[in-house]
Copies of this chain bind each other. A is one copy, B any other.
C-alpha cells in the first residue's frame, strides 16, 4: 500500500485525539496486517468508497474504549454501554472524515460507522485487499488503526 493511502489516517487520528480528547497519541511501526494483531474487545469500522475503495477500523481493549468515551462526553462509565458504542462510532467517523480531506487526487466518501463487540472477535478482509496496521499508544490506553484498500 502506498504511503499516500496510510498517512492521512495517521495524521487524522492524531488530530482527532488531540482536538476532541486533549490527548496526543504516539504511533509505533506501521506494519502489514498478517492476522497477528488482536484479538480486541471492541472495533469501530467505516467503509470508504470513491477512487479508492476500502475500510478503516479502530480496535480497542474495553478499558481504552471506556476511557475515550468518558473523556469525549465527560461521563464516568465503568463498562462498555450504549454511550461508549456511540462515542467509538463518532471517533471513527471523525477520523475517516478528517482523513478523506487529506487524500491528494482522490475523491473518498465514507459510509456509516459500525461497532463490533465480543471478546476475541476477529476482523478479516477477504482477498483482493491489503491491510496496514498502525499501533497507537496514548494516556487513554493502547489501540490500533487498521486501514484496508482494495488492491485492484
Secondary structure of the A contact surface, majority rule:
strand
Within 8 A of B (CB), among A42-61: 43, 45-50, 53-55, 57
Q: Would you call A121 and B124 a contact (CB within 8 A)?
A: no
User: A127 near B: Cβ within 8 Å?
Assistant: yes
User: A77 near B: Cβ within 8 Å?
Assistant: no
CB distance from A1 to the nearest CB of B (A): 13
Q: How many chain copies?
A: 2
Q: Would you call B112 and A45 a contact (CB within 8 A)?
A: no
In-complex Cβ contact of A89 among B57, B88, B89, B126 (8 A): B126
A-B CB proximity, top 9 nearest: A47-B47, A47-B111, A89-B126, A118-B121, A49-B109, A121-B121, A86-B126, A49-B49, A115-B124
A contact set with B: CB distance below 8 Å: 39, 43, 45-50, 53-55, 57, 85-86, 88-90, 109-127, 129, 148-150
